[in-house]
């Protein structure tokens, strides 16, 4: 955890809690689903090295007592130090808003955004009423509950929280113009927070930016280049924040978004935000759009996923989401129609895919891929059909005919390769959107199946892309950047997620491939019960690099066993 150690640093059990599988990781620790066999309770445990240079668990546990009982505040069930580990046991919650946003094609519909606005304003109102600032408002720190609480947003991660009311004097902390280190996340922090003492207004401004981010195409302009990696890039972000006016940011959005941002920026250091007014303003917008209950009231519960007719999003985004929707099916299985669509987009050598310009009437032979068994009989009918009629019929029957003539018949190998490439692309796209280990495990299993189904065990570009997407997901992208002064010397100015990537690059790649892959296979099989996602990501990167460096670029049996073990680890078995 944060020290680059190859071996797992999290034990299988901490006090009465058995760690089941990894739910997420941040810079300073990792979060696991845990089970207490004595009480049968399931919870989430946040584990951190006791001597971590950024001991957020130690800070975080101080805030929980003041927040207990508040709506959308997780219950702290246990906490303490167990050997080298500092841990907090809290309610097991559902996916974060970041997960939902990404899974939804990086978009959020207006109704959901209004619910998020109203709920998060209430959470901030509660936290502020307890004298506490959150200071790290971002999509990853707002999570929905489970079961009957799945419409409720919870705030998590109080590792950067701060008391703005001095518990002794009961007075607001003083403002100061002395330049201070930045704490928070670069994407949603107010401009103030980059160099000034934060207060309630800054939590509110971060929320305003977060809401605008999910509503505009491609998010806030300064989030488009990823996490800043050095002071220069951080300065660019600050300049962009300063240089982009609220009306530019909110162009095309309902006016309340711009007005909310302007309001937050106008608040003075000691001001109490008017939480009620802004909840009302968002409720008014809901009313205006007709998002009301049968009694005419507005409900702030987050009903996810939104109903299609409520997806009030820009045409550009709608097209993007629509394009993605076919593959957003439950489970990791590659849908055959997706593969067919993928193949249809590709043009094989010699124009073998029928197009409008090149009717397929003159073909002497057809290769037919059927959507399902029922379409088989239709494929026969398609064969004798001429020109555009045939295309129409094919469209109706969901059959794609890859035509050939005698001179340029595609070999079955070529066809197999095409299908494999299409399947891999589908898997890569799904991996980029998958945020649960179980989902990733299923995709790895599909990847292995696809590789094994093909005679050639050659690693194509698409196969490497899949491993790379898998590795990136396991590294758990986060917008949090460690403040400069707290970063360990080697990683200073590096984002949390990039730190591990840098370490990966620095590590010499072992050769030859056969030994490396075998070594990786053995290491994974012999690794302790619980493995962190980041460790798995590193092994996958090494595996990919070993294959890339080999002359044949093929996968052998050890490679398949390694990937099976990756899937098993992700499944938590
Ligand atoms: N109680 C929980 N139940 C389920 N998942 C959780 C829970 N707490 C956290 N997570 C998941 O773990 C991720 C990281 O959690 P959290 O932000 O608390 O960790 P952190 O180490 O403080 O991270 P960061 O370094 O990003 O601040 C969350 O985005 C969420 O997906």
Ligand 1 pocket mutation, candidates 21, 140, 498, criterion most atoms within 8 A of CB = 140
Beta bridge partners of 89: 45, 78
Give the residue whose CA is nearest to atom 21 of ligand 1.
26
CATH number of domain containing 65: 3.30.200.20
pLDDT in tens, 317-342: 544 444 444 434 333 344 444 544 55
Q: Is residue 376's pLDDT more than 80?
A: no
- Residue 313: inside a domain: no
* Mean pLDDT score, 501-511: 47
pLDDT in tens, 560-572: 999 999 988 887 7
Q: Is residue 472's pLDDT more than 60?
A: yes
pLDDT given at position 494? 28
Cα 74 from Cα 82, distance rounded (Å): 22
Q: Is residue 4's pLDDT more than 60?
A: no
Q: How far is the CA of 142 from the centre of ligand 1 (A)?
A: 9
31 secondary structure, DSSP code: E
Name residue, tokens 């099976």: 564
CATH number of domain containing 148: 1.10.510.10
Last residue of a domain, one of 91, 111, 126: 91
Q: How far is the CA of 495 from the centre of ligand 1 (A)?
A: 17
Q: What atom in ligand 1 is closest to the CA of residue 159?
A: 22
* Mean pLDDT score, 223-239: 83
Q: How far is the CA of 84 from the centre of ligand 1 (A)?
A: 20
Residue 104 beta carbon below 6 angstroms from any ligand 1 atom: no
Last residue of a domain, one of 21, 56, 91: 91
**78 and 104 fall within a common domain:** no
Ligand 1 pocket mutation, candidates 86, 152, 156, criterion most atoms within 8 A of CB = 156
Among 156-170, 195-209, 386-400, 495-509, name the one with the lowest average pLDDT: 386-400
Q: Is residue 353's pLDDT more than 80?
A: no
Q: Is residue 50's pLDDT more than 80?
A: yes
* Of the ranges 53-57, 196-200, 221-225, 282-286, the best mean pLDDT one: 282-286
- Residue 300: inside a domain: no
User: Using an 8 Å Cβ cutoff, are 570 and 536 in contact?
Assistant: yes
Between 375 and 422, the more confident residue is 422
Among 316-320, 433-437, 554-558, name the one with the lowest average pLDDT: 316-320
Residue 44 beta carbon below 6 angstroms from any ligand 1 atom: yes
φ, ψ (nearest 5 deg) of residue 50: -65, -30
Residue 463 beta carbon below 6 angstroms from any ligand 1 atom: no
Confidence label for 296 from pLDDT (cuts 50, 70 and 90): confident
**53 and 193 fall within a common domain:** no
Confidence label for 411 from pLDDT (cuts 50, 70 and 90): low
pLDDT given at position 311? 53
pLDDT given at position 435? 64
- Residue 398: inside a domain: no
Q: How far is the CA of 143 from the centre of ligand 1 (A)?
A: 9
- Residue 377: inside a domain: no
Q: Is residue 121's pLDDT more than 90?
A: yes
Q: How far is the CA of 156 from the centre of ligand 1 (A)?
A: 7
Q: Is residue 301's pLDDT more than 80?
A: yes
Domain hosting 74: range is 13-91
Between 206 and 504, the more confident residue is 206
pLDDT given at position 27? 75
What is this model's ipTM?
0.94
How many structural domains comprise the chain? 3
Residue 29 beta carbon below 6 angstroms from any ligand 1 atom: yes
Q: How far is the CA of 510 from the centre of ligand 1 (A)?
A: 34
**87 and 99 fall within a common domain:** no
**155 and 52 fall within a common domain:** no
Confidence label for 257 from pLDDT (cuts 50, 70 and 90): very high
Percent of the chain residues topping a pLDDT of 70: 71
Give the residue whose CA is nearest to atom 4 of ligand 1.
93
Residue 184 beta carbon below 6 angstroms from any ligand 1 atom: no
**282 and 430 fall within a common domain:** no
Confidence label for 356 from pLDDT (cuts 50, 70 and 90): very low
Residue 28 beta carbon below 6 angstroms from any ligand 1 atom: yes
* Token pair listed for 49: 């090295």
* Mean pLDDT score, 229-239: 84
Last residue of a domain, one of 289, 316, 340: 289
> What is the average pLDDT score of the chain?
77
Q: How far is the CA of 412 from the centre of ligand 1 (A)?
A: 48
Residue 74 beta carbon below 6 angstroms from any ligand 1 atom: yes
Residue 49 beta carbon below 6 angstroms from any ligand 1 atom: no
Please report which residue ranges of 244-311 form alpha helices under DSSP H.
246-249, 255-266, 275-289
Q: Is residue 25's pLDDT more than 50?
A: yes
User: Using an 8 Å Cβ cutoff, are 459 and 560 in contact?
Assistant: no
**116 and 32 fall within a common domain:** no
Q: What is the DSSP string of 292-328?
A: --TTS-------SSPPGGG----HHHHHHHHHHGGG-
Q: Is residue 123's pLDDT more than 50?
A: yes
Q: What is the DSSP string of 377-411?
A: HHHHHHHT--HHHHHHHHHHHT-EEEEE-STTPPP
Angstrom CA distances, 2 to 8, 149, 156, stand at: 11, 33, 21
pLDDT given at position 317? 54
Residue 141 beta carbon below 6 angstroms from any ligand 1 atom: yes
Give the residue whose CA is nearest to atom 24 of ligand 1.
26
**115 and 257 fall within a common domain:** yes
Q: What atom in ligand 1 is closest to the CA of residue 28?
A: 21
Cα 486 from Cα 502, distance rounded (Å): 18
Between 380 and 264, the more confident residue is 264
**112 and 167 fall within a common domain:** yes
Give the residue whose CA is nearest to atom 29 of ligand 1.
140
* Mean pLDDT score, 52-66: 93
Residue 26 beta carbon below 6 angstroms from any ligand 1 atom: yes
- Residue 174: inside a domain: yes
**85 and 115 fall within a common domain:** no
Q: Is residue 308's pLDDT more than 90?
A: no
Pairing of strands 153-155, 142-144: antiparallel
pLDDT given at position 361? 30
pLDDT given at position 180? 66
pLDDT given at position 418? 77
pLDDT given at position 192? 77
Between 475 and 363, the more confident residue is 475
pLDDT given at position 26? 77
pLDDT given at position 365? 29
Cα 249 from Cα 245, distance rounded (Å): 6
Question: With 0-12 CB in 10 A as exposed, 13-18 as middle and 19+ as buried, what is 160?
Answer: buried
φ, ψ (nearest 5 deg) of residue 280: -65, -40
Pairing of strands 17-25, 13-14: antiparallel
Q: Is residue 486's pLDDT more than 50?
A: no
For 68, the 3-state DSSP assignment is: coil
Cis-peptide into 157, omega within 30 deg: no
- Residue 395: inside a domain: no
Annotated binding site for ATP: 46
Between 272 and 335, the more confident residue is 272
Between 158 and 227, the more confident residue is 158
**66 and 151 fall within a common domain:** no
pLDDT given at position 261? 97
Give the residue whose CA is nearest to atom 26 of ligand 1.
26
Name residue, tokens 């509110």: 204
User: Using an 8 Å Cβ cutoff, are 208 and 121 in contact?
Assistant: no
Ligand 1 pocket mutation, candidates 55, 157, 483, 533, criterion most atoms within 8 A of CB = 157
- Residue 396: inside a domain: no
Catalytic residues: 136
Task: List all residues 6 or more positions away from 73 whose beta carbon is below 8 Å from its beta carbon.
Answer: 67, 123, 126, 127, 154, 155
Between 277 and 364, the more confident residue is 277
Q: How far is the CA of 437 from the centre of ligand 1 (A)?
A: 14
- Residue 42: inside a domain: yes
From the list 155, 162, 197, 156, the residue with the least C-alpha distance to 176 is 197
**110 and 185 fall within a common domain:** yes
Among 200-214, 242-256, 508-522, name the one with the lowest average pLDDT: 508-522
Give the residue whose CA is nearest to atom 19 of ligand 1.
26
Q: Is residue 23's pLDDT more than 60?
A: yes
Residue 479 beta carbon below 6 angstroms from any ligand 1 atom: no
Residue 306 beta carbon below 6 angstroms from any ligand 1 atom: no
Which strands sit side by side in the sheet containing 41-49, from one edge to the other? 13-14, 17-25, 30-36, 41-49, 85-90, 76-82
Confidence label for 573 from pLDDT (cuts 50, 70 and 90): low
Q: Is residue 378's pLDDT more than 80?
A: no
Q: What atom in ligand 1 is closest to the CA of residue 24?
A: 12
**83 and 230 fall within a common domain:** no
pLDDT given at position 209? 97
Q: Is residue 463's pLDDT more than 70?
A: yes
């Amino acid at each position: 955890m944060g020290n680059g150690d190859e071996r797992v640093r999290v034990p299988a059990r901490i006090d009465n809690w058995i760690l089941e599988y990894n739910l997420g990781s941040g810079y300073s620790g990792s979060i696991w689903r845990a089970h207490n066999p004595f009480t049968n309770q399931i919870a989430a445990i946040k584990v951190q090295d006791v001597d971590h240079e950024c001991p957020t668990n130690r800070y975080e546990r101080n805030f929980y007592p003041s927040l207990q009982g508040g709506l959308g505040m997780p219950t702290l069930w246990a906490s303490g130090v167990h050997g080298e580990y500092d841990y907090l046991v809290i309610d097991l919650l559902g996916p974060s808003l970041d997960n939902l946003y990404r899974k939804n094609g990086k978009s959020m519909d207006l109704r959901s955004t209004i619910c998020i606005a109203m709920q998060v304003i209430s959470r901030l109102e509660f936290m502020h009423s307890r004298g506490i600032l959150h200071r790290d408002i971002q999509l990853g720190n707002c999570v929905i509950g489970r079961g009957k609480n799945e419409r409720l947003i919870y705030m998590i991660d109080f590792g950067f929280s701060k008391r703005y009311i001095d518990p002794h004097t009961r007075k607001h902390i003083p403002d100061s113009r002395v330049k201070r280190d930045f704490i928070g996340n670069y994407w949603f922090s107010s401009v103030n927070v980059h160099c000034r003492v934060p207060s309630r207004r800054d939590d509110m401004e971060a929320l305003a930016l977060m809401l605008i981010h999910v509503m505009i195409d491609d998010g806030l302009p300064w989030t488009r280049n990823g996490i800043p990696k050095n002071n220069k890039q951080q300065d660019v972000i600050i300049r962009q924040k300063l240089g982009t006016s609220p009306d530019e940011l909110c162009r095309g959005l309902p006016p309340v978004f711009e007005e909310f941002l302007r309001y937050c920026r106008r608040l003075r250091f000691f001001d109490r935000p008017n939480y009620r007014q802004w909840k009302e303003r968002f409720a008014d917008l809901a009313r205006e759009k007709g998002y009301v209950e049968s009694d005419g009231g507005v409900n702030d519960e987050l009903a996810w996923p939104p109903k299609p007719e409520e997806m009030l999003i820009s045409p550009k985004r709608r097209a993007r989401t629509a394009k993605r929707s076919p593959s957003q099916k439950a489970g990791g299985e590659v849908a055959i129609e997706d593969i067919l669509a993928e193949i249809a987009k590709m043009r094989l050598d010699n124009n073998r895919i029928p197009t409008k310009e090149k009717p397929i009437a003159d073909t002497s032979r057809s290769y037919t891929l059927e959507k399902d068994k029922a379409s088989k009989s239709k494929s026969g009918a398609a064969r004798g059909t001429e020109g555009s009629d045939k295309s129409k019929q094919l469209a109706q029957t969901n059959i794609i005919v890859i035509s050939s003539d005698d001179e340029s018949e595609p070999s079955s190998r070529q066809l197999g390769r095409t299908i494999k490439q299409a399947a891999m692309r589908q898997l890569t796209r799904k991996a980029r959107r998958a945020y649960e280990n179980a989902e990733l495990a299923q995709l790895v299993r599909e990847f292995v199946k696809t590789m094994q189904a093909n005679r050639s065990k050659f690693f194509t570009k698409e196969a490497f892309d899949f491993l790379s997407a898998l590795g990136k997901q396991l590294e758990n992208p986060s917008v949090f950047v460690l403040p400069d002064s707290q970063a360990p010397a080697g990683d200073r100015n590096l984002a949390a997620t990039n730190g591990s990537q840098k370490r990966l690059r620095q590590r010499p790649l072992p050769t030859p491939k056969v030994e490396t892959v075998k070594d990786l296979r053995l290491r994974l099989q012999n690794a302790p019960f619980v493995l962190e996602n980041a460790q798995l990501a590193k092994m996958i990167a090494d595996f990919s690099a070993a294959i890339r460096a080999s002359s044949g670029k093929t996968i052998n049996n050890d490679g398949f066993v390694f990937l099976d073990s990756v899937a098993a680890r992700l499944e938590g078995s």
